[in-house]
């Protein structure tokens, strides 16, 4: 599960380093204005893309969870800060009996190259608060590298829209009495772009989530169903009509495709036209749309 927003400078590095055995990649694109999706569809042969117009990491993740079909869901950042090669350790912990696995930068040999002093102090304070209020022994709370069995989505009953989704995930797992395991993780420096996290604003939302979850009933608030439904969108796949390779000039590409004779171009793109029909159409694209029935179910829950 890869939530993205203008991650063209780092996404290829992340996708290319995913373990070979990963059979499903769900990329949630939050209305990127760069070539994020184009690059992803160029690098990854099989890809599920969800176009999520709602703002926030939580909204993106919840939309992606709706589209996921694999037994195991792993959350990974698109900026390169979470190392894709560590996925093996997360999945191994699940196979050994865990229901929910969270990364920790405070367990050896974990660490961070990107954690600022302010974020570190806030994270430590929130971790201690949660341990005191919930009787847990976590070493790291505000870290979004997590993995869990998809069958537990209903028990997690997620509703957050912002970065507080990471805290809500953990606390919901605690309240659902899931077996939670921490594994060491080393946070890398983001490879490109600028973080959308705001320490003060998102810190307040994390605090509110901690306090609200403490007073909620331990019974799941609702089945996992967003007030949206995912509708397939017909978009061009790599190698088919309308596909634009990363870094291409749209006008030049369209001119060559429409009239190669007039353009005077005799390169490989003309020969590729004969092979387009036989190429696998492996990209699945969804767009979330309002679903009044699901919204009503959530309000009644």
**Calpha distance 240→256 (Å, rounded):** 14
Q: What is the per-residue pLDDT for 114?
A: 85
**Calpha distance 145→48 (Å, rounded):** 20
Structure tokens at 119: 């974020």
Checking if the pLDDT of 130 tops 90, the result is yes
pLDDT tens digit sequence for 281-299: 446 777 666 555 544 444 4
Report the DSSP pairing between strands 47-51 and 283-290.
Answer: parallel
**Calpha distance 179→147 (Å, rounded):** 12
Between CA 138 and CA 145, with CA 144 as vertex, the angle to 5 degrees is: 85
**Calpha distance 269→260 (Å, rounded):** 9
Report the DSSP pairing between strands 283-290 and 228-232.
Answer: antiparallel
Query: How crowded is the C-beta side of 66, counted as CA atoms within 13 Å?
Result: 29
pLDDT tens digit sequence for 67-83: 899 999 999 999 999 99
pLDDT tier at 176, thresholds 50, 70, 90: very high
Looking at the chain, the whole-number percentage of residues with pLDDT higher than 70 is: 73
Q: What is the per-residue pLDDT for 217?
A: 63
Of 100-114, 189-203, 267-281, least confident by mean pLDDT is 267-281
Structure tokens at 241: 């009509």
Q: What is the per-residue pLDDT for 138?
A: 97
Of 13-17, 130-134, 138-142, 245-249, least confident by mean pLDDT is 245-249
Q: What is the per-residue pLDDT for 273?
A: 42
What is the value of pTM for the model shown? 0.77
Structure tokens at 250: 């749209």
Q: In this structure, what DSSP letter does residue 151 have?
A: G
Sequence-ordered alpha helix ranges (H) in 99-229: 117-134, 153-156, 165-175, 199-215
Average pLDDT in the chain: 80
pLDDT tens digit sequence for 212-231: 888 876 555 544 444 456 67
Q: Scanning the structure block, which residue is given the tokens 């341990």?
A: 131
Most confidently modeled range among 22-31, 56-65, 129-138, 243-252: 129-138
**Calpha distance 83→105 (Å, rounded):** 12
Query: How crowded is the C-beta side of 47, counted as CA atoms within 13 Å?
Result: 25
Cis before 109 (ω within 30): yes
Query: How much is the average pLDDT of 84-91?
Result: 97
The secondary structure of 241-257, three-state, reads CCCCCCCCCHHHHHHHH
Q: How many residues make up the chain in this entry?
A: 301
Q: What is the per-residue pLDDT for 228?
A: 53
Q: What is the per-residue pLDDT for 55?
A: 84
């Amino acid at each position: 599960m890869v939530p993205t927003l203008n991650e063209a400078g780092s996404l290829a590095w992340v996708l290319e380093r995913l373990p070979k055995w990963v059979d499903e990649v769900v990329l949630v694109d939050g209305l990127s204005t760069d070539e994020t999706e184009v690059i992803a569809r160029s690098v990854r042969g099989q890809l599920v893309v969800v176009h999520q117009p709602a703002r926030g990491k939580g909204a993106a993740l919840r939309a992606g969870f709706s589209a996921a079909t694999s037994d195991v869901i792993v959350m990974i950042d698109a900026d390169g800060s979470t190392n894709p090669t560590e996925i093996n350790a997360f999945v191994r912990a699940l196979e050994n009996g865990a229901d929910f696995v969270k990364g920790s930068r405070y367990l050896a040999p974990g660490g961070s190259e990107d954690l600022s002093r302010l974020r570190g102090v806030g994270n430590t304070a929130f971790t201690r608060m949660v341990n005191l209020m919930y009787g847990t022994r976590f070493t790291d709370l505000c870290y979004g590298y997590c993995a869990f069995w998809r069958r537990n989505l209903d028990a997690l009953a997620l509703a957050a829209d912002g970065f507080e989704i990471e805290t809500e995930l953990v606390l919901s797992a605690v309240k659902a009495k899931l077996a939670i395991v921490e594994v060491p993780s080393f946070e890398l420096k983001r490879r490109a772009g600028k973080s959308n996290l705001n320490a003060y604003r998102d810190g307040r939302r994390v605090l509110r989530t901690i306090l609200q979850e403490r007073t909620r009933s331990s019974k799941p608030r609702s089945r996992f169903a967003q007030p949206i439904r995912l509708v397939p969108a017909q978009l061009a796949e790599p190698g088919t009509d309308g596909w634009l390779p990363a870094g291409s000039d749209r006008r030049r590409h369209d001119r060559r495709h429409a009239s190669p004779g007039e353009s005077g171009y005799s390169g490989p793109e003309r020969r590729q036209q004969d092979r387009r029909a036989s190429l696998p159409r492996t990209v699945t694209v969804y767009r979330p749309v309002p679903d009044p029935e699901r919204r009503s179910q959530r309000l009644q829950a």
